[in-house]
Structure 1
Amino acid sequence: MSDAPATDERSSIPVRTAGLAAGLGAWILWSAIILTGSGPIIINNVIAGAAIGAFAAYTAGWPDGGALPSIAAPLIVVLLGLWVIAAPFVLEVPADRLFWSNVISGLLVVALAGGSVYGSWQLTRSTATGV
């Protein structure tokens, strides 16, 4: 028996990007309260942030997909990130800290979840080819 640890050939980048997206989901959830928002953006951010956090954490916890196809959860996070970007415009939030928090957080979520989608796609493709 060898003392060398077993290595996994798969990349850990999709898991890490999903974990960071989950952290951003927590920020989005609390941002409307911390940055003193008003109106429907508060409920929007709580629901969207909780959903981003849940699906991103699911992706980080089960990178091979678990009960869902491996690409489904990160793809949902990408769509939710796009909604977080669009929400201040749709809900007519004044251009203040909460407006920019949503836009920047949404962009980061889309970028991180996009990386996770790509990584999940690579994992699915390599598993399908038997590599």
Structure 2
Amino acid sequence: MSQTADSQSPMPVRTAAFAAALGAWILWSGVILTGTGLIIANNFVVGGLIAFFAAYTAGWPNGGRLPAIVAPALVVVFGLWTVAAPFVLGVTIDRVLWSNVISGVLVVLLAAGSVYGSWHLTQSSTTGV
């Protein structure tokens, strides 16, 4: 007997949706917070990737065409890079630095919840519980 949509945990969908929203913030934060240099392009690309893969996870928490753990795991990696990027790229504007650190940590935490939720969803669907 397989799980119905009503009995599945909403955790991977909700955490991924919040991570996607943070990805959208990261995408525009370099411009909104008037960053300078490579951090603007970095945040645009990485924020877009976070938003894309997190939205993919929210849309297909069981994985869709990808194994269930791949998209949220990529979001974790991109979140970690978001935290490290201002230090690696030598950002001197505090508001940009702290925006990246706080947003990146939140993305990592939310994506880790999505990884766990997607893994749990996959495990329960393969065991039929």
Residue deviations 1:57-96 (CA, integer Å, cap 9, x gap): 0000111111101110000000000000000010010151
* C-alpha distance in 2 between matches for 1:93 and 1:69: 36
1:1-131 equivalences in 2 (<5 Å):
8-131=6-129
**Equivalent pairs, count:** 126
Distance in 2 (CA, whole Å) between partners of 1:107 and 1:7 is: 30
- Paired residue type of 2:59: G
Structure 1 unaligned blocks of 5 or more: 1-5
RMSD: 1.1
Q: TM-score, normalised by structure 2?
A: 0.95
Counterparts of 1:71 and 1:113 in 2: how far apart (Å)?
A: 10
Cα 1:127–1:45 shift into 2, 3 Å: same
Worse overlay, 7-16 or 114-123: 7-16
Greater C-alpha Rg: 1
The runs of 4+ residues in structure 1 deviating greater than 4 Å are: none
Percentage identity across paired residues of the two chains: 66
Q: Which amino acid aligns with 1:13?
A: M
